[in-house]
């Protein structure tokens, strides 16, 4: 979920290119490949290697304030990041607005649908007086692509998938904070972009139980709250709380929704639950998903498990 800045250095490119050229051209010419063609092949290969680093995940925003989020979801500076297609940050051109299918999230997430989830929680749950449909819809206004990509059925499936994972994480919107979360350490001290405040805890909070300092920091940058110094805001402001869940979803889950519900589980908690890690949790998520799909009148699709 972290963004990385990459800067192309011309001198390094040239110094890399010339030894490769001198080494390969004599051998390849003997195979019938012209020197000019081989030169172009090497140069294109190097350029592509520099542009698409293999150890970086795409679709990551929530960059530091001085960095731009490129059209491909990487953090950095310069025209490649801040120019055409720039999504957020100090863009030098107007951020692009992705096309949507015109679906109305409010029409899908009706009062009856939302309250149906909330009513599954016990009466003394703290979430019953915290999570509201109005706060959810207010938060959705900041995420134009949520529930609006693909067909009308795709919109319903994404919304069902989102609330299925939310229902599992919070006990049907019962919990605001992780049980015994304050006793756990979610500070990644190796992450210098989003350093921990030693007086704060980054345990699970909100509809998708946002955890770790780097998630609080990146979410804060994206939706404009001080995630590192005031992580408790996620448990006191219902709109911010839903925004963090939607930020996490759009940053890490939205792009795999077409692969089936199982891909959403893998994106959220795959390392712990998938491949037999916690089959009970996986089945819980699937149960909520199929239930919500039925309520929304849409087939759940294939690849539900992970």
For a pLDDT cut of 90, what percent of the chain falls above it? 65
195-237 confidence digits (pLDDT tens): 999 999 999 999 999 999 999 999 999 999 999 999 999 999 9
Query: Domain check: are 241 and 149 in the same one?
Result: yes
36-43 average pLDDT score: 42
pLDDT of residue 20 exceeding 50, the answer is: no
Full domain range(s) for residue 274:
99-306
Instruction: Identify the bridge partners of residue 177 per DSSP, sorted by sequence position.
Output: 205
Long-range contacts formed by 302-306: CB under 8 A, 24+ apart: 302/260, 303/259, 303/260, 303/261, 303/262, 303/263, 304/260, 304/261, 304/262, 305/262, 305/265, 306/262, 306/263, 306/265, 306/266, 306/270, 306/273, 306/274, 306/275, 306/282
Domain assignment of residue 5, yes or no: no
- How many angstroms separate the CA atoms of 260 and 248, rounded? 18
pLDDT of residue 43 exceeding 70, the answer is: no
247-257 confidence digits (pLDDT tens): 999 999 999 99
pLDDT for 254 equals 96
Catalytic residue among 158, 169, 177, 273: 169
Domain assignment of residue 90, yes or no: no
Query: Domain check: are 26 and 120 in the same one?
Result: no
Query: Domain check: are 34 and 118 in the same one?
Result: no
pLDDT for 94 equals 56
Which of helix, strand or coil describes residue 6? coil
Query: Domain check: are 34 and 161 in the same one?
Result: no
pLDDT for 60 equals 52
Query: Domain check: are 205 and 74 in the same one?
Result: no
Query: Domain check: are 129 and 220 in the same one?
Result: yes
DSSP for 161-174, written as a single string: HHHHHHHHHHTTTT
Structure tokens at 270: 């795959």
Query: Domain check: are 77 and 117 in the same one?
Result: no
Query: Domain check: are 184 and 124 in the same one?
Result: yes
Query: Domain check: are 157 and 201 in the same one?
Result: yes
CA distances to 49, 268, 291, 296 from 140, rounded to whole Å, are 37, 19, 22, 18
Cβ burial 143-169 (10 Å sphere, 16+ → b, else e): beebbbbeeeebbbbbbbbbbbbbbbb
Domain assignment of residue 181, yes or no: yes
Domain assignment of residue 92, yes or no: no
15-35 average pLDDT score: 39
138-168 confidence digits (pLDDT tens): 999 999 999 999 999 999 999 999 999 999 9
44-84 confidence digits (pLDDT tens): 343 333 333 333 333 356 778 788 888 767 888 888 888 87
What is the total count of domains within the chain? 2
Query: Domain check: are 252 and 137 in the same one?
Result: yes
Domain assignment of residue 87, yes or no: no
Structure tokens at 39: 């030169």
Long-range contacts formed by 108-111: CB under 8 A, 24+ apart: 108/147, 108/155, 108/156, 108/159, 108/296, 109/133, 109/136, 109/137, 109/159, 109/163
How does residue 100 score in pLDDT terms, banded at 50, 70 and 90? confident
* Domain end point (choices 52, 82, 112): 82
* Domain end point (choices 82, 108, 134): 82
Closest of 71, 89, 56 to residue 218, by C-alpha: 89
Query: Domain check: are 247 and 116 in the same one?
Result: yes
Structure tokens at 289: 């998903």
Domain assignment of residue 299, yes or no: yes
- How many angstroms separate the CA atoms of 176 and 203, rounded? 11
CATH code at position 139:
1.10.530.10
Query: Domain check: are 68 and 138 in the same one?
Result: no
Cβ–Cβ under 8 Å, residues 177 and 241? no
- Cα three-residue angle 133-270-158, rounded to 5 degrees: 35
* Domain end point (choices 30, 54, 82): 82
Domain assignment of residue 4, yes or no: no
Q: Which residues contact 192 (CB under 8 A, 6 or more apart)?
A: none
Annotation marks residue 169 as catalytic: yes
């Amino acid at each position: 979920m972290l963004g990385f800045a990459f800067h192309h250095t011309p001198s390094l490119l040239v110094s890399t290119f010339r030894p490769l050229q001198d080494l390969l051209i004599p051998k390849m010419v003997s195979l019938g490949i012209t020197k000019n063609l081989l030169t172009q092949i090497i140069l294109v290969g190097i350029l592509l290697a520099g542009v698409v680093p293999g150890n970086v995940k795409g679709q990551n925003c929530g960059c530091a304030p001085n960095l731009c989020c490129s059209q491909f979801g990487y953090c950095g500076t310069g025209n490649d990041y801040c120019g055409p297609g720039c999504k957020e940050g100090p863009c030098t051109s107007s951020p692009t607005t992705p096309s949507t299918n015109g679906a109305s999230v409010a029409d899908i997430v009706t009062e009856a649908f939302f309250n149906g989830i909330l009513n599954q929680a016990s009466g003394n749950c703290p979430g019953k007086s915290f999570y509201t449909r109005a706060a959810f819809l207010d938060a959705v206004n900041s995420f134009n692509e949520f529930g609006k990509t693909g067909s009308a059925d795709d919109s319903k499936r994404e919304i069902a998938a989102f609330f299925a994972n939310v229902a599992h994480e919070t006990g049907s919107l019962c919990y605001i904070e992780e049980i015994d979360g304050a006793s756990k350490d979610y500070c990644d001290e190796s992450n210098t972009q989003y350093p921990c405040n030693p007086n704060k805890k980054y345990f699970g909070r909100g509809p998708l139980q946002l955890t770790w300092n780097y998630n609080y920091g990146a979410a804060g940058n994206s939706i404009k709250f001080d995630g590192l110094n005031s992580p408790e805001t996620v448990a006191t402001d219902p709109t911010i709380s839903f925004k963090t869940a939607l930020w996490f979803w759009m940053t890490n889950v939205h792009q795999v929704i077409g692969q089936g519900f199982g891909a959403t589980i893998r994106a959220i908690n795959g390392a712990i639950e998938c491949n037999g890690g916690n089959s009970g949790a996986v089945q819980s998520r699937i149960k909520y998903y199929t239930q919500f799909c039925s309520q929304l009148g849409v087939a759940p699709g294939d690849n539900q498990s992970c």
